[in-house]
Structure 1
Amino acid sequence: MNFCLVGAGFSCAVIGRELAGAGHRVTIIDVRDHVAGNCHTERDTETNVMTHVYGPHIFHTDDQEVWEYVNRFTTFKSYVNRVKTTSMGQVFSLPINLHTINQFFGKTMRPDEARAFIEQQADTSIEDPQTFEEQAMRFVGKELYEAFFKGYTQKQWGCHPSELPASILKRLPVRFNYNDNYFFHRFQGMPEHGYTKLVEGILDHPNITVKLSTRFERSMLDEYDHVFFSGPLDGFFDYELGRLGYRTLDFERFTYQGDYQGCAVMNYGEEEVPYTRITEHKHFSPWEEHDGSVCYREYSRECGEEDIPYYPIRLVKEKALLADYVEKARQTDKVTFVGRLGTYRYLDMDVTIREALDTARGFLKCVEEKKPAPAFFVEA
């Protein structure tokens, strides 16, 4: 069969590789002039630092098959994400851990003592947190919430934390030990030569043709047996029902001779500081040595028509519009919507790859059983 996959990020690269491996012809197109989507990495010409062009991505997963899959195509180096935050004239460790608690409150508590202390700080009158603010107040109390969550969240999402659902703050945002590894997962690392080389490796198959700087037109549906679409769901329908809401990011790049901040990620939790964080990209490749440094100040704002969409907002208004687009998608033949934009969900890289593998396998089963493929293998 002959397939078109729209978007050269992880979703379509993985699906395309699985289809190509099953003997089908695959054409992957992307409107940009590079593969790997927002995970695109490249060497900075001034410093030779490997930069994450659209903001940093750290690979972390508990999914052994996904970990083994990406390691087929590149070498991963050990990397532990240790995030710091500047607040009230001090630098603290994130996520909130025993060191953060003791430093913030000027104490030397043991884990059990800290657990009891934080429970005293918490607002236990909130039995069923409904908003982000209630979730934070219930689990860490007012002081830690205001120091580390309130301002950062307001800048990131452009609204007060009381307007955001509790689900955004999914896990208990505190650890009662000195573990400052930002992630919990078994497998963590960075591709030695960057994410773009990883995606190029996935796409390196004789049955795959890649066409960059190429825009998808719906008339292309007639040229292929099936299309996998990883672009914006509302964009596929030319936004005829309205635009789904996203946050976008602006990056202010600057260079520095030496080590600018001593860590990869420094958050700024105070609302008065206009940016959310500064990332120093040479620290994402600690096995390399560079005299110069490349840093990005990161600003979050509402996504405009010409901007790159990063984070789906998924509040009440957007969910209602999403339901209408999902219904239109289900009535469209020969198209399956995939990935972060195609399903309007925030997805980590490992989840994106897992869903792509499952989608490809599900689709091949539909072909084998001569059944029509659904518009969504994962619910939007």
Structure 2
Amino acid sequence: MRYCIVGAGFSGAVIGRALAEAGHKVLAIDDRATLGGNCHSERDAETGVMVHIYGPHIFHTGNERVWDYVRRFGDWIPYNHRVQAVSGGRVFSLPVNLLTINQFFNKVMSPAEARAFIAAQAEKIAEPKNFEEQALSMIGPDLYRAFFRGYTRKQWGVEPTQLPASILKRLPVRFTYEDSYFAHPYQAMPREGYTEVVKAILAVDGVELRLSTRFEDVDEKFAHVIYSGPIDRYFDYEYGRLGYRTLDFERFTHRGDYQGTAVLNYCDEEVPFTRITEHKHFAPWERDKLEGSVLYREFSRLCGPEDIPYYPIRQTNEEAMLRRYVSRAESTGGVSFVGRLGSYRYLDMDVTIAEALDASSRMIAAIRDGAKLPAFFVPPLGA
């Protein structure tokens, strides 16, 4: 019998290739007509712009194993991601850095002066219990209200006091003029887009790929199923639907350069969208050769049954439901859950690939030794 990979994004592709290279037969399926999951990218026929169809995906990592791996499957061009933000009718640099602080407070402070100034602004909260408390303890009320409160309410649809502090801990505050969004040593974009990278990963003897194919409709018995789809869907939503935020995209085109940057956040709550993305800026090596531009306004809302899930909400009720699904998965057998949807976690691309590489090694060793494969290679609870 062969192994079934459900989902042709990075998790499924990496694991599927590893199994095939180890001599196993693999069926990889995806219910979409395209490869790459939410990383799917394609060149716009009208303008020639390489478009990230399901929103921008920026590859950045400090993991050399992952960096070496992805470079086997495409030409990667250095790309330094920068984000600007509109707040109160003015444009600022994000993440919050020395330029942002000096601009916002109309001052000319040195790093040490700015650090002391923000420390005086920040509220003394020893152990922040939620997103709002984390922000107030990091940057104080003025910067919080300008850049995070309204944007967060639009993005998540709840009060910031209902979100975990961990969401904000991922974002730095810098007391230099460094405005790169990420600090990882390896930052790049695939020259021909992410879909071609995933296609190359799956281009190996032993893998059969079927797109536009639902797992529920496949009539075949497998040695084991590696499932990167939503864990609640696998169990037919037996305990209810886990909560996600989804995105609506309002596409428009422009002749020339519309906003001069890849991502422009709109922090004010009265603006209904969260940001505008201009996709030719994600490929600066070809940007100036393109006359047209493709842009998207992004609107965040609660994910419905027919929507694409993007961001797991993971509030208290979702955590309780997830525990039931985890317990169900661990007692089921014959299936392992991987990736963002399978473990109900927000994962960057490099983490997704790193976990898939680790899962592949452990999986192949277990198969060789005749051991049982676990339901999860990375526990989704407490992650």
CA contact (8 A) 1:41 1:194 kept: yes
Structure 2: gaps (5+ residues): none
Deviation, structure 1 residue 172:
6.2
Deviation, structure 1 residue 171:
4.3
Deviation, structure 1 residue 218:
7.8
For residue 133 of structure 1, what is the aligned residue in structure 2?
Answer: 132
CA contact (8 A) 1:139 1:172 kept: no
Deviation, structure 1 residue 21:
0.5
Structural RMSD (CA): 1.0
Q: Deviations over 1:185-212 (max 9, x none)?
A: 0100000000000000101101111000
Report the 3-state secondary structure (helix = DSSP H, G, I; strand = E; otherwise coil) of the residue aligned with 2:245. Answer: strand
Quote the Cα distance in structure 2 between the aligned partners of 1:5 and 1:278.
34
User: In the superposition, relative to structure 1, how do residues 219 and 297 fare at CA in structure 2: closer, same or farther (>3 Å)?
Assistant: closer
For residue 3 of structure 2, what is the aligned residue in structure 1?
Answer: 3
CA contact (8 A) 2:95 2:171 kept: no
% identical aligned pairs: 61
Pair 1:192-2:191 in alignment: yes
Quote the Cα distance in structure 1 between the aligned partners of 2:356 and 2:324.
24
Report the 3-state secondary structure (helix = DSSP H, G, I; strand = E; otherwise coil) of the residue aligned with 2:169. Answer: coil
Q: Deviations over 1:17-61 (max 9, x none)?
A: 100100111110000001100000001111010000000000000
For residue 147 of structure 2, what is the aligned residue in structure 1?
Answer: 148
For residue 88 of structure 1, what is the aligned residue in structure 2?
Answer: 88
For residue 123 of structure 1, what is the aligned residue in structure 2?
Answer: 123
- Which letter does structure 1 place at the counterpart of 2:202? L
Q: Deviations over 1:150-191 (max 9, x none)?
A: 000010000110111111111463100000000010100000
Deviation, structure 1 residue 334:
1.0
For residue 255 of structure 1, what is the aligned residue in structure 2?
Answer: 253
Q: Deviations over 1:78-112 (max 9, x none)?
A: 10001000011110000000000000001110000
Quote the Cα distance in structure 2 between the aligned partners of 1:150 and 1:278.
18
CA contact (8 A) 1:6 1:30 kept: yes
Report the 3-state secondary structure (helix = DSSP H, G, I; strand = E; otherwise coil) of the residue aligned with 1:46. Answer: coil
Which of the numbers 272, 284, 289 marks the counterpart of 1:274? 272
- Which letter does structure 2 place at the counterpart of 1:45? A
Quote the Cα distance in structure 2 between the aligned partners of 1:121 and 1:218.
58
Q: Deviations over 1:54-82 (max 9, x none)?
A: 00000000000000000000010010001
Quote the Cα distance in structure 2 between the aligned partners of 1:360 and 1:43.
31
Quote the Cα distance in structure 2 between the aligned partners of 1:172 and 1:40.
25
CA contact (8 A) 2:130 2:165 kept: yes
Q: Deviations over 1:248-269 (max 9, x none)?
A: 0000000000100000000000
Quote the Cα distance in structure 2 between the aligned partners of 1:127 and 1:265.
34
For residue 111 of structure 1, what is the aligned residue in structure 2?
Answer: 111
How many residues get paired? Answer: 378
User: In the superposition, relative to structure 1, how do residues 144 and 287 fare at CA in structure 2: closer, same or farther (>3 Å)?
Assistant: same
- Which letter does structure 1 place at the counterpart of 2:216? E
Quote the Cα distance in structure 2 between the aligned partners of 1:219 and 1:186.
42
Task: After TM superposition, list the pairs within 5 Å mapping 1:1-380 onto structure 2.
Answer: 2-124=2-124, 126-171=125-170, 173-217=172-216, 220=219, 223-288=221-286, 289-380=289-380
Quote the Cα distance in structure 2 between the aligned partners of 1:293 and 1:349.
26
Report the 3-state secondary structure (helix = DSSP H, G, I; strand = E; otherwise coil) of the residue aligned with 2:107. Answer: coil
Q: Deviations over 1:324-363 (max 9, x none)?
A: 0001111112100010000000000000000101111111
Deviation, structure 1 residue 293:
0.2
Structure 1: gaps (5+ residues): none
| 4+ residue segments displaced more than 6 Å | none
CA contact (8 A) 1:2 1:25 kept: yes
